[in-house]
Structure 1
Amino acid sequence: MSVTASIAASVQAADDSGFHAPGPGSFELPPVFGDVTKPMILVVLSAIIVVGFTWAASRKAAVVPSRLQFAGEFFYGFVRNGIARESIGSEHFMKFVPWLFSLFMFLLVNNYYGVIPFIQFPTMARIGYVIPLALLSWVIFIAAGIWAHKGPLKYLKHQTMPAGVSGPILILLVPLEFLSNIIVRPVTLTLRLFGNMFAGHILLILFATGGAALLTSGNIGYGAVGIVSFLLGIAISFLEMLVMFLQAYVFTLLSAMYVGEAIAQEH
C-alpha cells in the first residue's frame, strides 16, 4: 500500500469513528455564561496576570533580586534594550517602553494559553483581538511621526517622498510609499500574528483529535498511527511554544521599528 493510500485509509477510519476535521468552527466557542465566551475571559485574565506579575516583581525591589524580581527585570530589560533602544534610538526610546513592554507581555500570555492544559486556546487566534492591537500600534507610530515632524503634512512628506528623489517618478512613488508605510502596516501586523496562532492551533487540534479517533477505531494498525499522531502533536507543541514567543517578539519589534522610522529625520 502506498503512503498516500495509507494516509487516506487512516483519514477514512477516523471519519468512520466520528472524527470531524478542525476548521474555523473550532474557534467558535459557546458562551460560558450569558454572552461571555472563553476568549473574553482569557483576555481579561491576561491583563490581570500581566499587571499582577509586574506589581509583584517590582514591589520589593532590592539590590540582590528575588527570583520574581529577576524575571521581571529580565523581560523588562529584554524589551527596553533589545527592542525599544535598538529600534527607536537612544534619544526617544524611553517614551515608548511602557507601551512596548505591556504589548509584549500581553501577547506572550495570550499566545501561551494555547499550550496550557485545560485552557488550550490562544486568544490571538481570533482576529478580532489582534486588529485592535495592530490599530493601536498604528495610531501610536502615526502620532509619534506627527509629533516628531511637527505636523501631519511634514510627516506625510517624510513617509512618502524619499530624500533625493524628484521629478515625474514621484507620481508613481508617492502612492506606493503611502500604501506601504501608512496603510499596509497594520494589515501585515494583524495577519502575521493571527495567521500563525490560527494555523498552529489548528495543527494541535488535528493531531490530538485525529489521534484519539484512530486509537478508538478498533483497528490495531490505525491505533499505531494514532500513537504516532499523538507523538507528532507533542513535538509540534514544543515547536508551537517557540512560535508563540517569536510572534509576540516580532509584533512588538515591528511596532517599535515603525515608531523608529516615523520619528527618524531621514527617510
Structure 2
Amino acid sequence: MPRAIRPAAAFAPAAPRVAVPLAAGRPTGRVPGIANTRPPAGAPGSGRAEAGRRHGLRAFVKRIVRPPAAPAWLLPLMTPLEVIEYLVLRPFTLSVRLFADTFAGHFILMVFALGGCVLYGSSTLLYRPLSLLSWAMAIAAAFLELLVAVLQAYVFAMLNSFYIQTSLSDEH
C-alpha cells in the first residue's frame, strides 16, 4: 500500500460513522423539529485532532503556520492562507455543501406541494388536473432527494477522509 494512503486507511471504519447519520438524517429533516443540516459533530475536527496526536502539537501548528514546501519569500502570503484554509474553510465548505443541498431539496418539495394546493384551490377547472401532476412531481422529488441524501453522505465521508489523509501526510 502506498505510504500516503496508509494513514487514511486506518480511518476507513470511521467513514460509515460519518455517512450513515447524514443519509438517515436527511429524510427525517422534513419532520418539524428534526432538521439535520449540520455535519456530524466530530467530523470536521477529527483530522486535526489526529494530526495533532500523530505529529505533536508543536509540529502540527508549525506545519500549518509554516508550510514545508513554501519558499521563505512566500511565507507572509502562504501562512494566513494556510491557517484560514485549514481551520476555517474546510469545515465551512463541508457544512455549506450540506446546507445548500438540503435547502434546495426542501425548496423543490415545497414548490411542488404548495403549487399543487394552489392549483387545486383555483377557481379555474383546468388547473385542478395539473394539481395532481404537481403532487406527483413532489412525490418523485422526495424519492430523488433520498437518492441525493445517500450520494451527499458519500461525498461528505470521502471529503472528510481526504481531509484526514492530507492532515496526516508527512508532506503537509
TM range (shorter): 0.7 to 0.9
CA shift digits 1:229-252 (9 cap, x unpaired): 223323322332221111111221
Residue 109 of structure 1, CA deviation: 1.0
Structure number with greater CO (CA < 8 Å, separation at least 6) is 2
Equivalent position of 1:90 in the other structure? 6
Contact 1:204 1:237 in 2 (8 A): yes
Aligned: 1:110 with 2:16: no
Q: Distance in 2 between matches of 1:184 and 1:92?
A: 21
The answer to whether 1:228 aligns with 2:133 is yes
- The answer on whether the counterparts of 2:120 and 2:131 sit within 8 Å (CA) in structure 1 is yes
Give the drift of 1:181. 1.6
| 1:158–1:266 CA contact under 8 A, matched in 2 | no
Residues of 2 paired with 1:263 and 1:89: CA distance? 10
TM-score normalised according to structure 1 size: 0.56
1:239 equivalenced with 2:144 (yes/no):
yes
Asked whether the equivalents of residues 163 and 266 of structure 1 are also in contact (C-alpha less than 8 Å), the reply is yes
* Residue 139 of structure 1: aligned partner: 45
AA of the residue aligned to 1:100: A
User: How far off its partner does 1:211 sit?
Assistant: 0.4
How far has the Cα of 1:219 moved from its partner? 1.6
Deviation string 1:137-156 (CA, Å, 9 cap, x unpaired) is 2321111111221x223112
| Counterpart among 11, 14, 36 of residue 99 in structure 1 | 14
CA shift at 1:213, angstroms?
2.4
Deviation at 1:207, TM superposition (A): 0.7
TM-score normalised over the length of structure 2: 0.83
Q: Is the 2:29–2:36 Cα contact (8 Å) retained in structure 1?
A: no
Shift, 1:102, TM fit: 1.7
* Counterpart AA for 1:166: P
Unaligned runs of 5+ in 2: none
**Cα separation, 2, equivalents of 1:140 and 1:208:** 39
**Residues in 1 aligned to 2:128 and 2:33: alpha-carbon distance in whole angstroms:** 27
In structure 2, give the amino acid aligned to 1:123: A
Alpha-carbon RMSD: 2.7
1:233 and 1:121, CA in 2 relative to 1: closer, same or farther beyond 3 A? farther
Q: How does 1:1-267 map to 2 (within 5 A)?
A: 89-91=5-7, 93-94=9-10, 96-113=11-28, 119=31, 123-125=35-37, 130=38, 133=40, 136-149=42-55, 151-267=56-172
In structure 2, the CA distance between the partners of 1:123 and 1:99, relative to structure 1 (3 Å rule), is: farther
Mapped partners of 2:78, 2:8: distance in 1: 29
Q: Structure 1 stretch 252-261 or stretch 105-114: which is displaced more? A: 105-114
Cα distance in 2 for partners of 1:148, 1:194 equals 32
CA distance in 1: counterparts of 2:93 and 2:113, whole angstroms: 30
Larger radius of gyration: 1
The change in CA–CA distance for 1:162 and 1:211 in structure 2 (over 3 A counts) is same
Q: Classify the secondary structure of the residue corresponding to 2:122.
A: coil
Change over 3 Å in CA distance of 1:183–1:120 after alignment to 2:
closer
